[in-house]
A and B are shown apart, each in its own frame.
Chain A
Amino acid sequence: MVKSFPWRIVALIIGGIFIYAGVLKAMDPVGFANDIDNYKILPWTIGVRLAFYLPWLEILCGLAVILGLLYRGGLLILTALVSIFIAASVISKVRGLDITCGCFGHASKYLSFFGHLLLDLAIFAGLIGLSISNRAQQSQL
């Protein structure tokens, strides 16, 4: 876990965002399943099962980043998840699908595509920063 105060704040914010997003989606798994289905990338039978699983993975990884337990694993998973969200959003936009991301449940349906993309890129940058900071700290020990 990073010890420097600014990076601790970043970890708190990013972990908090994923816990918030995960809780919103866990409360409405069917709504999230519909959002996944809207991307037209996965068949419904897989998407609906992911809709039950992904929110809990986000919540646990958010907690991992905040509490510093299984920290590097949490960072790894969250970085992979955000990368996938960004890729899926861009692919859908290119295909002309006008969809809501579903990243923050239906609370985010009013965010535009570019609003979502900016938010996701900012989170991605924060996660990369945390990873680099953690590695630098590990190499000093």
Chain B
Amino acid sequence: MKVSAVRQALLLIALALVPAIGEAIYFRNKVSWQSPIPASELVTAEQAQSWGDNVIWVDARPSEEFDRDHIPGAISLNEDRWNELLPQFLGQWSPERTVVVYCSAQSCNASREVAKRLRDEAQLKNVFVLDGGWEGWLKLNR
């Protein structure tokens, strides 16, 4: 008996659920299911500002945007010029300081990527992403 293409497709769609659910169960504690950045890695502008001079602000936006305006004292470190800018950042970093990375807004990915590289490649602890990004900081401070 010939089974229509649509029925075959539905069967494949159903079959694919099995390994997918299995993998999701395996990864259930390693994935942030509600937001791209786990809550433990996010920090609000108010929180970060309360840490005072212990914070190193890292601006992950393109250099032209950094040059136009940035959080006072922030260091530019973006993926396009990573190798060039990283030494300057490391010159200002020390283990007691907390790194807060931001990009333009909540929806941009640059801050997440830079924070990940700082953790994975530079092996830094205490690296956070600014909730709301540059726009969020502006709302609070200007």
Residues of A at the B interface (CB closer than 8 Å) are 26, 29-30, 33-34, 37-38, 40, 44-45, 48-49, 52-53, 55-57, 59-61, 64, 70-77
Size of interface on B: residues with Cβ below 8 Å to A: 30
Task: Say how far B63's CB is from chain A's closest CB, in angstroms.
Answer: 15
Within 8 A of A (CB), among B1-52: 3-13, 15-17, 19-21, 23-24, 27, 30-36
15 A-B pairs, CB-CB below 8 angstroms?
A29-B23, A30-B31, A33-B36, A34-B112, A45-B33, A48-B31, A52-B20, A52-B21, A53-B16, A53-B20, A56-B16, A57-B13, A60-B12, A73-B5, A76-B5
Determine the residue in chain A with the shortest Cβ distance to B30: A30
A74 touches B8 (CB 8 A): yes
Alpha-carbon separation in the docked complex, A38 to B113 (Å) = 12
Nearest B residue (CB) for A50: B20
Q: Decide yes or no: A70 and B8 within 8 Å by CB, A33-B31, A45-B34, A53-B16 being known contacts.
A: yes
Chain A residues within 8 Å of B20, by CB: 52-53, 55-57
Chain B interface residues toward A at CB < 8 A? 3-13, 15-17, 19-21, 23-24, 27, 30-36, 107, 109, 112
Contacts beyond the supplied A48-B31, A76-B9: 15 A-B pairs with Cβ under 8 Å = A29-B31, A30-B31, A33-B31, A33-B36, A44-B34, A44-B35, A48-B36, A52-B23, A52-B27, A53-B20, A56-B16, A57-B16, A70-B8, A72-B8, A76-B6
Bound-state Cα–Cα, A110 to B57, Å:
30
| Residues of chain B contacted by A29 (CB below 8 angstroms) | 23, 27, 31
Tell me which of B11, B16, B31 has the highest count of chain A C-beta atoms within 10 A of its own C-beta. B16
Residue of B10, B17, B27 near A73 (CB, 8 A) is B10
- Contact between B33 and A48 (Cβ–Cβ < 8 Å)? yes
